[in-house]
Amino acid sequence: MKSSKKFTSIRQQVYLLLKEMTKIIWDLLNFLPAGMIAASLSYVYRRCGKTTCKCTKGEKHGPYPSIQINVKNKKTIKMIKKNDVDEIEKKVTQYKEYQDGLAKMNKLYKKIHKLLQEARDENLEECP
């Protein structure tokens, strides 16, 4: 096996990427015990249904906390209690951060894959 300058540089890059990847993996696994909710928090305004209420003229009631969840690729809004907002917001944020971590992992994996291909090409020999 040749040990060109380029190959040495690839090894160093892969080493650093793996280190970064390992950190992300452990961060992700440490997230799990806190719990996550796959949703986004939003506030909605509603009409109450009384014909004499100001809400019929556009001044709707609210804001009421709710979460948007995807059920079978369909957006659904679920109302939540005000007392649960902080807890749910925390879990929604953790889900988002987990997803971000997975996306970072994917980018790192692609970089490593590309470097390994370069390393292979660097060491390819002609058929004798």
CA separation for the pair 16, 22 (Å, rounded) = 10
Residue with tokens 């004499």: 52
Determine which residue in the list 55, 80, 85, 112 makes contact with Zn ion, applying CB under 5 A: 55
HSE of 12 in the Cβ direction (CA atoms, 13 Å)? 7
Q: Which letter does DSSP use for residue 92 in this model?
A: H
**Min. distance of Cβ 48 from Zn ion in angstroms?**
3
Structure tokens at 46: 């509603």
Do 13 and 43 form a contact (C-beta atoms < 8 A)? no
Nearer to Zn ion by Cβ, of 23 and 46: the residue is 46
53 belongs to the binding site for Zn ion (CB under 5 A): yes
User: What pairing do the DSSP bridges indicate for beta strands 74-79 and 40-46?
Assistant: unpaired
**Min. distance of Cβ 83 from Zn ion in angstroms?**
23
Nearer to Zn ion by Cβ, of 32 and 53: the residue is 53
What dihedral do alpha carbons 73, 77, 81, 85 form, nearest 10°?
60
Footprint on residues 9-48 left by Zn ion (CB under 5 A):
48
Nearer to Zn ion by Cβ, of 49 and 128: the residue is 49
Size of the site for Zn ion (CB under 5 A): 3
79 belongs to the binding site for Zn ion (CB under 5 A): no
Nearer to Zn ion by Cβ, of 57 and 74: the residue is 57
Task: Using CB under 5 A, list all residues that contact Zn ion.
Answer: 48, 53, 55
